[in-house]
Amino acid sequence: MKFLDQAKIYVRAGDGGAGCLSFRREKFIEFGGPDGGDGGRGGDVWIECVDGLNTLIDYRFQQHFKAKKGGYGMGSNRSGAKGDDVVLKVPAGTEVLDEDGETVLADLTEVGQRIRFIKGGNGGFGNAHFQTSTNQAPRRVNPGQEGEERWIVLRLKLIADAGLVGLPNAGKSTFLAATTAAKPKVADYPFTTLHPGLGVVKVDGREFVLADIPGLIEGAHEGIGLGDRFLAHIERCRVLLHLVDGTCEHAGKAYKTVRGELEAYGHDLADKVEIVALSKIDSLDKETLKTQLDRLKRAAKKKPLALSAATGEGVREALRALIGVIDEGRAEELQRGVVPEPWHP
């Protein structure tokens, strides 16, 4: 299945049905009076967060979604039927943005969340509604109201507790494959990861979700390489694991390159808790390892971890550092009683 994390679609609620112009006509009833019913309400557009989806591929080939129009009113004071609703099913972590792609209208983060995004038009009044003491046979009816319509952007942000960042070929996919059941593509050339990936990590009897995104290079915020759009998938993470390739020319410069791209991207990504680790240490001799660790420590201004996903050395220590930050974040949320706020159209 192709990974699609953004889609622009058009949604329209149903129009209300028109009211009916009708008079009661029965034998031996000379002045039956008006009996035109009201039109039915147009269908609404709902957005629902469901389980079993992890991409927006359903909106790749269909971009227009229209609810049904309400039924017309009928004689004998019969109201028209309500139009059928349209339900857009999206994966957890989907944001609904305005047409400009910036204004967030709704954020669905939990399976089961369901919002009525736009309402259908009200049905028009039939002529029975306009009967008065001075107008016993009104010939006036209302047309149904038009349903709301708009273009919106659906943007998926993967929900993960921790995220992997680093330059291309820093060992992120190898780390994900070594610590989870995920099977990302692993090769010895840059940009082997073209789409974000998720995996569930189990450490010390606890679990957390780890996200891997394509590598960043200098100028990614200007669209160089694969750009920085995939950074949206780690915006929800509590902690970042920054992997720096130990076999690169200068670990400190590599670290600063990625940090520069995180700061250029914004969205408070550079302010997240960061754990720095030198990867691929199995390929380094002792002298080179010490030199690279010193360079990385000066650049990050903190003591980095050293690990090798290929041999497993230092991996458990890194996972424990991640779960420690995640547990603290979860405890703070429980203390504050953080719950998702309902959205009202």
Task: Consult the annotation and say whether 192 binds a ligand.
Answer: yes
Which among 198, 270, 201 has a CA at the least distance from the CA of 240?
270
Taking the C-alpha atoms of residue 313 and residue 305, their distance in angstroms, rounded to an integer, is 11
Task: Consult the annotation and say whether 290 binds a ligand.
Answer: no
Task: Consult the annotation and say whether 133 binds a ligand.
Answer: no
Location of each CATH 2.70.210.12 domain in the chain: 1-156
pTM of the predicted model, to two decimals? 0.76
Amino acid at 76: S
Measure Cα distances from 339 to 44, 209, 240, 272 in Å.
Answer: 26, 20, 23, 21
Q: What is the pLDDT of residue 138?
A: 93
Location of each CATH 3.40.50.300 domain in the chain: 162-336
Using DSSP, state whether 209 is helix, strand or coil: strand
Taking the C-alpha atoms of residue 30 and residue 12, their distance in angstroms, rounded to an integer, is 45
Using DSSP, state whether 58 is helix, strand or coil: helix
Task: Consult the annotation and say whether 184 binds a ligand.
Answer: no
Q: Residue 253: CA atoms inside 13 Å, Cβ hemisphere, count?
A: 5
Taking the C-alpha atoms of residue 68 and residue 48, their distance in angstroms, rounded to an integer, is 18
Task: Consult the annotation and say whether 280 binds a ligand.
Answer: yes
Measure Cα distances from 102 to 154, 203, 207 in Å.
Answer: 11, 38, 33
Task: Consult the annotation and say whether 288 binds a ligand.
Answer: no
Rounded to the nearest 10°, the torsion over CA 131, 136, 139, 141 is 0
The strand ranges marked E within 84-213 are 86-90, 94-97, 104-108, 114-118, 149-156, 162-165, 197-203, 206-212
Task: Consult the annotation and say whether 3 binds a ligand.
Answer: no
- Find tokens 């004071």 and name the residue: 77
| The two structure tokens encoding residue 90 | 């999206």
Task: Consult the annotation and say whether 7 binds a ligand.
Answer: no
The CA angle 229-295-184, to the nearest 5 degrees, is: 40
Query: How many Å from the N-terminal Cα to the C-terminal Cα in the chain?
Result: 33
In this structure, whether the domain defined by 1-156 belongs to CATH 3.60.90.10 is answered with no
Task: Consult the annotation and say whether 212 binds a ligand.
Answer: yes
CATH of domain 162-336: 3.40.50.300
Taking the C-alpha atoms of residue 182 and residue 191, their distance in angstroms, rounded to an integer, is 18
DSSP 77-109: TBPPPPPPPEEEEE-TTEEEE-TTS-SEEEEE-
Task: Consult the annotation and say whether 267 binds a ligand.
Answer: no
Taking the C-alpha atoms of residue 135 and residue 120, their distance in angstroms, rounded to an integer, is 31
Task: Consult the annotation and say whether 173 binds a ligand.
Answer: yes
Task: Consult the annotation and say whether 169 binds a ligand.
Answer: yes
Task: Consult the annotation and say whether 279 binds a ligand.
Answer: yes
Task: Consult the annotation and say whether 33 binds a ligand.
Answer: no
Task: Consult the annotation and say whether 132 binds a ligand.
Answer: no
Measure Cα distances from 263 to 87, 221, 224, 258, 270 in Å.
Answer: 38, 10, 16, 9, 5
Task: Consult the annotation and say whether 215 binds a ligand.
Answer: yes
Task: Consult the annotation and say whether 191 binds a ligand.
Answer: yes
Strand-pair category, 273-279 with 239-245: parallel
pLDDT in tens, the chain (345 residues): 467 888 999 999 999 999 999 999 888 888 888 999 999 999 999 999 998 887 888 898 899 999 999 999 999 999 999 999 999 999 988 999 999 888 899 999 888 999 999 999 999 999 999 999 899 989 999 999 999 999 999 998 887 888 888 888 888 888 888 888 777 667 665 666 667 778 888 888 888 888 888 777 666 555 555 556 677 888 888 899 999 998 888 999 999 988 888 888 887 888 888 999 999 999 888 899 999 999 999 999 999 999 998 888 999 999 999 998 888 877 876 776 654 444 444
Task: Consult the annotation and say whether 282 binds a ligand.
Answer: yes
Task: Consult the annotation and say whether 81 binds a ligand.
Answer: no
Using DSSP, state whether 11 is helix, strand or coil: strand
Q: What is the pLDDT of residue 1?
A: 46
Task: Consult the annotation and say whether 193 binds a ligand.
Answer: yes
